[in-house]
């Protein structure tokens, strides 16, 4: 899942971003409305965590810009303006959810995941293919009933491949969805992570690679012996 956090308080933005990355999300940061608008024009996000009182472009204006897009991301307003009237006005602008500061971080994570599931193009919560089952909310993954002990990035790569199944994801696709805009496009981190994931998934292999195309998990991949 790729998330854009738009927050002008840099220390808070970094704390939120690092916490979400620890949950396996790819997180980009913007500290003003202009930078956020530029990132939204370049990258595809599932959820935008948006402060209201932003420099450059006000959060209310940015919210209306986002919600007017085709295939738009879901918007969670995260702001100090927490009175009932503030919530109503924020939701009226098109925000999909509203959370007042200070907030409980586990609640923020649950709300972001819930918003991602509500997107019109979102798949069911539990992802299944080729004997694999992955629950992004409970952070569990099994193959043919066998629990898998995956790192944060391994889990995120498996989630991305299952969401795309039976289609392919290139290494560039995985960098965009699982890492973030700071990832080095020339790094071999995708190859290394997929290799570790393959070993943990066991035999027979479930992730296939097509040169020049990418990785995929086919629906008809063989079950584990």
Gap between the Cα atoms of 132 and 146, Å rounded: 9
The 10s digit of each residue's pLDDT in 8-37 is 999 999 999 999 999 989 999 999 999 999
Per the listing, tokens 């980009």 go with 28
43 confidence band (pLDDT: 50, 70, 90): confident
101 confidence band (pLDDT: 50, 70, 90): confident
pLDDT reported for residue 55:
92
Question: Helical H runs in the chain?
Answer: 10-22, 33-42, 59-67, 84-92, 105-118, 152-164, 171-178, 189-201
Query: Is the model's pTM score more than 0.75?
Result: no
121 confidence band (pLDDT: 50, 70, 90): low
SS3 129: strand
Q: If you average pLDDT over every residue of the chain, what do you get?
A: 87
Closest CA to 200 of 113, 132, 123: 132
pLDDT reported for residue 223:
56
SS3 13: helix
Tell me which DSSP letter residue 57 carries: S
The 10s digit of each residue's pLDDT in 123-178 is 567 888 889 999 987 889 999 999 999 999 999 999 999 988 889 999 988 988 88
Q: Residue 100 above 60 pLDDT?
A: yes
Closest CA to 221 of 203, 199, 206: 206
Mean pLDDT of 51-76: 88
1 confidence band (pLDDT: 50, 70, 90): confident
SS3 16: helix
Q: What percent of the chain has pLDDT over 70?
A: 92
pLDDT reported for residue 115:
93
pLDDT reported for residue 207:
93
Residue ranges and CATH numbers for the domains of the chain are 2-118 (3.40.50.2300), 127-217 (1.10.10.10)
Long-range contacts (CB closer than 8 Å, 24 or more residues apart) made by 88-96:
90/52, 90/60, 90/63, 93/60, 93/63, 93/64, 93/67, 94/63, 94/64, 94/66, 94/67, 94/68, 95/50, 95/63, 95/67
């Amino acid at each position: 899942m790729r998330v854009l956090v738009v927050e002008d308080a840099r220390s808070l933005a970094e704390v939120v971003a690092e916490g979400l990355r620890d949950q396996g999300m790819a997180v980009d940061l913007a500290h003003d409305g202009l930078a956020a608008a530029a990132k939204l024009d370049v990258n595809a996000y599932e959820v935008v965590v948006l402060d209201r009182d932003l420099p450059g472009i006000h959060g209310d204006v940015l919210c209306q810009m986002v919600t007017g897009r085709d295939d738009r991301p879901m918007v969670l307003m995260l702001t100090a303006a927490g009175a009932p009237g503030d919530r109503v006005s924020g939701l009226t602008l098109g925000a999909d959810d509203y959370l007042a500061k200070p907030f409980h971080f586990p609640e923020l994570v649950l709300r972001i995941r819930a918003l991602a599931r509500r997107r019109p193009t979102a798949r069911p919560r539990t992802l299944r293919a080729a004997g694999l089952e992955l629950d992004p909310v409970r952070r569990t993954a099994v193959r043919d009933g066998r629990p898998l002990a995956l790192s944060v990035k391994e889990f995120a790569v498996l989630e991305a491949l299952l969401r795309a199944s039976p289609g392919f994801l290139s290494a560039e696709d995985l960098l965009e969805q699982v890492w973030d805009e700071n990832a080095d496009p020339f790094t071999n981190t995708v190859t290394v992570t997929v290799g570790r994931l393959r070993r943990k998934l066991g035999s027979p292999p479930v992730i296939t690679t097509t040169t020049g195309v990418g990785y995929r998990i086919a629906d008809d991949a063989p079950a584990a012996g």
